[in-house]
A and B are shown apart, each in its own frame.
Chain A
Amino acid sequence: MTSSPAPIPALQIEGLEKSFGSLLVLRGIDLDVAEHEVVCLIGASGSGKSTLLRCINLIEPIDAGRIVIEGEEITALDVDVDRIRRRIGIVFQAYNLFPHMSVLDNIALAPRKVLRTPRAEAEAAATRLLDRFGLADKRLDYPDRLSGGQQQRVAIIRALAMQPDLLLLDEVTSALDPELVAEVLGVIRELAAGGMTMLIATHEMGFAREIADRVCFLDQGVICESGPPDQVFSDPREPRTRQFLQRIIDAGRL
């Protein structure tokens, strides 16, 4: 690496390729995310958005290329997967809360077991986070007592409790009833305002336009177009981006 005056990006992806069997899902992704930047990934279902996020969190092994977090290559063969995952939070479409634990335990589990934070301290931190996002009264409830929107907010808080350098959000509103989407988007908006570095796969085009510093349109396993939201949504350069956005507009979703 040559020394460079520019700050090291929070996330660098170079030539990332991933296939499932004979199906090539990602074919050469190049993407940099700066610290405090919010990048939204848009694209049709099956374009590889989720797979990209899962590769960054090392849930899926990659075939080629490299992923670098703050200067450290996390796709190196000898890397400690658990240590890397502590620094990257991911929130899933289906929340995946632990049903046998209270909200508080869901949030405090990883800080206690992974970071060895004493129980009282971990629970106090969890309570502060719940308070901040208006869920303090739910701290002793079990996940099945919460609405989908509340569960997804808890899932985001659970990821935040590990104080990650980077937060990956994988279609976090896609499983929610329309009236519950706003409360989850509100949480993400607040995180963006607080400077959290985020990579967000989403179908909520209006939201992406509002919150993103940069929008990347994924198509057939490559980033087809990338730019500021106003440019990508109002004046897309690539015909495939135009086509995709036209379908979204026709469906009344932008």
Chain B
Amino acid sequence: MNVTDARRRRDRRRALRASLLALASTVVVFGVLAWIVVNAPGWPAVQSSFLDGQVFAAALPGIVAAFFVNIQLFVAAEILVLIFGLVIAILRSVPGPVFFPVRLVATLYADIFRALPGLLVIFVLGFGIPGLGLVDPKTPPILYGILALTLVYSAYVSEVYRAGIESVHPSQDAAARSLGLSRWQSLRHVVVPQAVRRVVPPLLNDFIGLQKDTVLVSSIGVVEIFRTAQIKQAAAFNFTPYMAVALVFVVVTIPLARFTDVLIARDRRQAAGGRR
């Protein structure tokens, strides 16, 4: 037997031992935690009110069906946020003293809507706009929810875009301008396309937050997943429907989070590959 084979066998043994150790420590840690919870004095009561299998099975179809309202909310809001956030970021980046008021308004908008709690914005718009008497009182409240989420998340996303725009090296703009492109053309064709590519991962991160915040829209009378769970909880005197909601969000969000990781890893590889 030669040295290479011996080395390979040794490496394999080490890898196996590492895996077994990881498995053992995981089993021990989670075993101890589970033992503590299960032996807590209130565990039987908590188990029956949060983890009732029958209630879970009965609630799940209705919960999943109600989630389609949340999907409508976040898909509509995400599309609007992508556009509006970019508009705000560009308005904040417009150079020249004439455009100071534009920059001021865009900056104030981003500051204020990042400061305000999302729930508050949903309340104010959901109850305030109908109160003005300018729009059809039968306007479905989900539209106010979409509007509120768009306003709140566009403020965050505009900052993400802006960071992307500022990360594009000034020499790119100089090259574009030296070819005779105007400021706007340089922004439109050279700077923004590069910025958008760079900010996809942090943008997806904000979208994970947006998806979860769709439950806040339940507060203005939209019967979405969380309100549905509340109704089922009240009917069954049991909190298990909330666990079904938790499961739905976990199932939807984790793939998106992993996808974001993949994109970040790809960007890092490209950066390491010497992309300018």
* A100 interface neighbour in B176, B178, B179, B193, Cβ under 8 Å: B193
Residues of B within 8 A of A98 (CB): 172, 175-176, 190, 194
Query: A232 contacts the other chain (Cβ, under 8 Å)?
Result: no
Query: Which bracket fits the contact residues of A?
Result: 20 to 34
Tell whether B26 is near chain A: CB-to-CB under 8 Å: no
Q: Which residue of B lies closest to A98 (CB)?
A: B190
Interfacial residues of chain B within 175-230, with CB under 8 A of chain A in the complex: 175-182, 185, 189-190, 193-194, 197
With A and B bound together, what is the CA distance between A89 and B197 in angstroms?
Answer: 28
Check B274 against A158 for contact (C-beta < 8 Å): no
Q: Is the CB of B274 within 8 A of A57?
A: no
Do the beta carbons of A96 and B172 come within 8 Å of each other?
yes
Which of these binds chain B: A42-50, A68-76, A106-114, A210-218?
A106-114
Cβ contact within 8 Å between A100 and B171: no
- Interface residues in A1-42 by Cβ distance below 8 A to B read none
Q: Could you tell me if B180 and A86 are in contact, using CB atoms closer than 8 angstroms?
A: yes
Contact of B197 among A100, A143, A144 (CB under 8 A): A100
Residues of A within 8 A of B190 (CB): 98, 109
- Cβ-based interface call for B13 (8 A): no
Cβ of A206 within 8 Å of any chain B Cβ, yes or no, is no
Contacts of B177 in A (CB 8 A): 59, 82, 85
> Which single residue of chain A is at the shortest CB-CB distance from B173?
A96
Per a CB cutoff under 8 Å, which of A94, A143, A144, A162 touches B179?
A162
Indicate whether A158 sits within 8 Å of B179 (C-beta atoms), given known contacts A98-B190, A99-B276, A109-B189. Answer: yes
State which of B172, B174, B273 has its C-beta within 8 Å of the C-beta of A59.
B174
Interface size on B, residues (CB 8 A): 21
8 Å CB contact of A92 from B171, B193, B274: B171
Beta-carbon nearest neighbor of B169 in chain A: A96
User: Are the C-beta atoms of B185 and A114 separated by less than 8 Å?
Assistant: yes
Q: Are A144 and B189 in contact (CB under 8 A)?
A: no
Q: Which residue of B lies closest to A107 (CB)?
A: B179
- A110 B276 Cβ-Cβ under 8 A: no
CB distance from B121 to the nearest CB of A (A): 35
Find chain B residues with CB under 8 A from A130 CB. none
- CB of A85 within 8 A of CB of B179, answer yes
Nearest A residue to B273, CB-CB: A144
Interface residue? B268 (CB, 8 A)? no
A113-B185, A144-B274, A144-B275 known; A85+B175 contact, CB < 8 A: no
- Beta-carbon nearest neighbor of A159 in chain B: B179
Chain B interfacial positions (CB closer than 8 Å to A): 171-172, 174-182, 185, 189-190, 193-194, 197, 273-276
Offer 21 A-B interface pairs, CB within 8 angstroms, sorted by A: A59-B178, A82-B180, A82-B181, A82-B182, A85-B180, A92-B171, A96-B174, A99-B275, A100-B193, A100-B194, A109-B179, A109-B190, A110-B179, A113-B189, A114-B179, A114-B180, A114-B181, A143-B276, A159-B178, A159-B179, A162-B179
**15 more A-B contacts (CB under 8 A) besides A86-B180, A109-B190?**
A82-B181, A83-B180, A90-B178, A96-B171, A98-B172, A98-B176, A99-B194, A99-B275, A100-B197, A109-B179, A109-B181, A109-B189, A110-B181, A113-B185, A143-B276
